[in-house]
Amino acid sequence: MKIDSIDDGKIDEYEKFIFDLKRNLDVDLRGYKRPQMERRINSLMRTLKIQDYNSFILEMKREKAVLDRFIDHLTINVSQFFRNDTQWVVVEEKILPLLLSKNKNLRIWSAGCSTGEEPYTMSMILRKIAPEGKHHILATDFDNNVLNKARAGIYPAKQIETVPDKIRKAYFNECEGGYVVKEDLKKMIEFRSHNLLRDSFPQELDLIICRNVVIYFKEETKNYLYRKLFSALRPQGILFTGSTEQIINYRDIGFEQAAVFFYKKP
């Protein structure tokens, strides 16, 4: 979709703001559902005491700190180690053994990794069941603030509560105020900035983890992303989605269902 020009008489203030945001700051929110984005944007404007969208654009152009806060506010950075633990049991007992039977060195992408709990969880499981493999986990997010937190790997004690004691002792060191991920676990993971709606996708992947990300997108954007994710997988590769993100038309895209919330490329 091109965004080179608009007819001011045919769009409302919010749509003009989205256009100006892309044109002036290269932040593209066209693929996101309007109600959620509009509420979050207006909430931040009230907090910052900014009266209108034009003033908000000018302030973000003037002050990078305001733009960074805007990006951080829009990003739903809710993450947890072993989130929805029954699904991680499926990963450990069914999905990874299936993938490892075809390739001993896995290429995995955690898309929308937030503060890093998801790729670190995957790394812990791989260390447990396939420690000899030279696995690579690419972990991406478009919010550089959360990526910096993920790279540091420092978490408050409360965030480690979902990690079994044996795993915590093996892969975390205590530090002031919480725990830090051991360097051995970090070596498997590459953290990188990436925008799902704009940047090219890595290819020849064995497993893509994209959970609790696409629920914020419009239906046409979801379909576009799922088709790109399908193309990024190797044959027999698997897409792991969130617990509210079942792909109803997975057969139309080309997927087979490997398990609930898991979709395989034939």
- Given CA atoms 232, 238, 243, 247 in this order, what sign does their dihedral have? positive
Q: Which CATH architecture does the domain made up of 85-264 adopt?
A: 3-Layer(aba) Sandwich (3.40)
Phi-psi region of 254 (alpha: psi -120 to 50; beta: other; left: phi over 0): left
Phi-psi region of 153 (alpha: psi -120 to 50; beta: other; left: phi over 0): left
Given a cut of 50, is residue 4 above it in pLDDT?
no
Say if CB 77 and CB 143 are below 8 A apart.
yes
Say if CB 111 and CB 194 are below 8 A apart.
yes
Given a cut of 90, is residue 29 above it in pLDDT?
no
Domain locations in the chain as residue ranges: 8-74, 85-264
Q: Provide the whole-model pTM.
A: 0.78
Least confident among 59-63, 115-119, 176-180, 214-218: 214-218
Given a cut of 50, is residue 224 above it in pLDDT?
yes
CA nearest to 73, candidates 110, 54, 53, 48? 48
pLDDT of residue 212: 82
* 3 state DSSP class of 89: helix
Instruction: For 18-51, give one letter per residue: b (16+ CB within 10 A) or e.
Output: bbbbeeeeebebbbbeeeebeebbeebbeeeebe
As a whole number of Å, the end-to-end CA separation of the chain is 30
Residues 218-244, mean pLDDT to the nearest whole number: 93
Q: Which tokens belong to 142?
A: 């478009």
The pLDDT-based confidence of 6 (bands split at 50, 70, 90) is very low
- For residues 93 and 22, the model is more confident at 93
Say if CB 202 and CB 196 are below 8 A apart.
no
Q: What string of DSSP letters covers 35-78?
A: HHHHHHHHHHHHHHT--SHHHHHHHHHH-HHHHHHHHHHHS---
Residues in CB range of 187: below 8 A, 6 or more apart: none
Strand pairing of 189-193 and 233-241? Answer: unpaired
d(CA 213, CA 50): 28
Given a cut of 60, is residue 7 above it in pLDDT?
no
Q: DSSP E strands: which ranges in 167-253?
A: 172-175, 178-181, 189-193, 205-210, 233-241
Given a cut of 60, is residue 232 above it in pLDDT?
yes
pLDDT of residue 76: 58
Give per-residue pLDDT as tens, 73-123: 776 555 678 888 899 999 999 999 999 999 999 999 999 998 999 999 999
Give per-residue pLDDT as tens, 180-193: 999 989 999 999 99
pLDDT of residue 67: 87
130 phi and psi, to 5 degrees? -145, 60
Residues 242-263, mean pLDDT to the nearest whole number: 92
pLDDT of residue 78: 56
* 3 state DSSP class of 14: helix
The pLDDT-based confidence of 1 (bands split at 50, 70, 90) is very low
* 3 state DSSP class of 207: strand
Give the DSSP H/E element, type plus range, for residue 155: strand 154-156
Average confidence score pLDDT of the chain = 88
Q: Which amino acid is at 162?
A: T
- For residues 258 and 38, the model is more confident at 258
